[in-house]
Structure 1
Amino acid sequence: MIRIAIADDHQSLVDGIQLHLKKETDIEFVGTANDGETLLQFVRDQNPNIVITDIRMPKLDGIQATKKIKKEFPQTKILVFTMFDQEDAVKQMLKAGADGYILKNATLEDLLTAVRSINDGSSYFDEQISIPNIEEEPMANRDQLLTRRQYQILQLIAQGKTSLEIADELYIGVYTVDTHRKNMARILGLKGKGELLRYALERKYDF
């Protein structure tokens, strides 16, 4: 069962999402919040699997709330659900530890897909957004944009392991590993099949 909490300062939006997703047999809503402070306390009390949060919220915005949640509960997945498609907003949320990013003009079916993707260990990014261009940043800074699972996979790639070997070691599916590889290449601004391997090998002694 995927236990979900939603945070947004527009209650009507929260109600709409809840009404749509509660029909799914594998999803349970454990609560809602209209500001970041309430969300943080709710996560402490209820320990949901996934938090769906906006960026702009009163008291504590989504970026700061995500940082605090990830620090206290690193296993909790964060899905950003917002109207902000600016590169800087995406970058800040990735650095805060978000596992997915989807825009509010996406369909509810897309939102459901995003929820299930990050619950399965993959990251999810709306096709309408641009992943920040970080090619000019030092390699160590680029790694901060990866999720904890992606960083683990990057380390194993640096050891020369195949997707199948990585899947066996982390107890996840090969498809999930390959999805992570694609998302990591996109996040890191890498192009071509061999670029991720080369990047991992260059970082090998920094892990």
Structure 2
Amino acid sequence: MKEHKLSIIIVEDHSIVVEGLSSILRNEERMNLKGSFSNAEDALQFLASNTTDVVLLDIGLPEMPGTEVCRIIKNQYRSTKVIALTNHTEKSVIQEMLENGADGYLLKNTSKQDLVNAIFQVMNNTFIMQAELQKVLFAPAAMKESVPRLTTREKEILLLVSEGATTAVISRQLFISTQTVETHRRNLMQKFEVNNSAALIRKATEKGLL
């Protein structure tokens, strides 16, 4: 009897990450990479007509955040497992993904073997979160108020947002696409646990970052 291969898709907008993940999956005999998608719309369209066992889902997608994509997938395709792939280690982001139904949560710097193990673990409902993430998730509530760790680019965009610059203006000034600016904006809002620019500026000021 032919062994069933796990059908997997990748939803990730950074091509270098896609290439790395694809290489790992194609070398696994028990896995079948059925496609990779750089945006949520194309991925959801694929899922509508293709049975898929596992979705490797980037959180910081353009146009629609991964948290929302996860919620949609788990509501519409209950048997499909979702593993979040991200660089985010903020407690609020981890909690939101888990609340929206994520079956696993991995950092993008994870090892090849940990990724493969995670895929089989979610299929068996035995996923074990990395120790680094467990520490964040189960840390005392007081630690929630610590100052978020920002990248150099996020600091640049935060400053421009505080000066009232629009996405288009920031895009031109930093020589990056408007989609990239919006992704950074969303990441900043997730890190500061806010829903709009005004709250972002206020909280960043309170924490001494502006």
TM-score, normalising length from structure 2?
A: 0.61
CA RMSD across the alignment:
1.8
Q: Secondary structure at the match of 2:36?
A: strand
Gapped regions of structure 2 (runs ≥ 5): 142-210
Aligned ranges 1:186-205 → 2 under 5 Å:
none
Instruction: Write the letter of the residue equivalent to 1:132.
Output: L
For 1:62 and 1:14, the matched residues in 2 are separated by: 16
2:95 corresponds to: 91
Which of the numbers 134, 137, 143 marks the counterpart of 1:132?
A: 137
Q: TM-score, structure 1 length as denominator?
A: 0.62
Which residue pairs with 2:76 in the alignment?
A: 72
Query: Is 1:56 aligned with 2:60?
Result: yes
Structure 2: distance between partners of 1:34 and 1:52: 12
Aligned to 1:17: 21
Q: Aligned equivalents of 1:105 and 1:89: distance in 2?
A: 17
Structure 2 counterpart SS, 1:113 = helix
Deviations 1:57-89, CA, capped at 9 Å, x for gaps: 012211100100111111110001110011001
Q: Structure 1 residue 127: deviation in Å?
A: 1.8
Correspondence for 1:45: 49
Structure label with greater radius of gyration: 2
Which digits, 9 at most, give the CA deviation of each residue in 1:123-163, with x for residues without a partner?
Answer: 23122113634999xxxxxxxxxxxxxxxxxxxxxxxxxxx
Q: CA deviation at 1:105?
A: 1.2
**Residue 178 of structure 1 aligns with which residue?**
none
Instruction: Give ranges in structure 1 of 5+ residues lacking alignment.
Output: 137-207
Give runs of aligned pairs for residues 109-128 of structure 1, distance below 5 A: 109-128=113-132
Q: Determine the C-alpha separation between the residues in 2 that align with 1:122 and 1:49.
A: 15
